[in-house]
Homo-oligomer: A and B are copies of this chain.
Amino acid sequence: MSLVEQARPIERRTLHDELVERMRGLVVEGALKPGEKIPERELCERFGVSRTPLREALKVLASDGLVQLTPNRGATVARLTVEDLEDVFPVMGALEALAGELACRNITDKKIAEIKGVHRKMVVCYEARNLPEYFQLNQKIHELILEAAGNRTLSTHYSSLAQRVRRARFMANMSDERWKQAVGEHEDIIAALESRNGEALAAILKSHLQNKFNSVRKWLIAQENGARNG
């Protein structure tokens, strides 16, 4: 290890930062389910920390829309309503479109190859009808595009929104036909990236998202009517 590597500043993290990350994970991955009470005391015990940094983390997640705080009644995992979804998706669309344009300007061949690699793995998952893995890789591709866009602000805000709808996106099962279509759309995305056609990519990403939105919306409405928002 060279001196510059060895002598770079030691990364230090506060409990607060660590807890924001971990609790975000619990919410986004669905270990804590929408509407559920967030058990402050229990989490403190499990993480081995006091209430102070845990509560700090809760405030941050609340400002991010993942947690709902009610005065004197503590924290619950935020529910996603149809209205929320209808607000969130257009914004994600606008951000993805921008990401597409920027990515086409900045992306390297290496990065495209990386995306293609993930895509191939994803196709395998599709063929095996392995939804969890497919979903994971799908997310990864979108993250890579955002990364290729090279705009931290864009990534941050996109990611904040993506996290809010992530669970619903996963739960809203695609029909087999829709699934096949989605894979096709991903191929179009890669083609547009390769030809660096920003406008085209923006349009494809937007309609890809619109399709997803439609199915998530249907699922959410069914959930709300069925009242069991598990």
Q: Are B98 and A91 in contact (CB under 8 A)?
A: yes
The copy count of this chain in the complex is 2
- Which listed segment binds B: A57-65, A112-120, A166-174, A184-192? A57-65
The DSSP consensus for interface residues of chain A is helix
Q: Which residues of B contact A161 (CB under 8 A)?
A: 153, 157
Picked from B69, B87, B160, the residue with its CB within 8 Å of the CB of A151 is B87
Picked from B72, B88, B153, the residue with its CB within 8 Å of the CB of A12 is B72
**In the complex, A195 has a CB within 8 A of chain B:** no
Picked from B56, B84, B102, B153, the residue with its CB within 8 Å of the CB of A59 is B56
Task: State the CA gap A57–B14 with chains docked (Å).
Answer: 16
In this complex, how many residues of chain A approach chain B with their Cβ under 8 Å: the count is: 34
Q: Are A91 and B56 in contact (CB under 8 A)?
A: no
Q: List 14 A-B contacts (CB under 8 A).
A: A20-B63, A52-B52, A56-B56, A56-B59, A87-B151, A87-B152, A87-B153, A90-B98, A90-B151, A91-B98, A91-B153, A91-B154, A94-B94, A153-B161
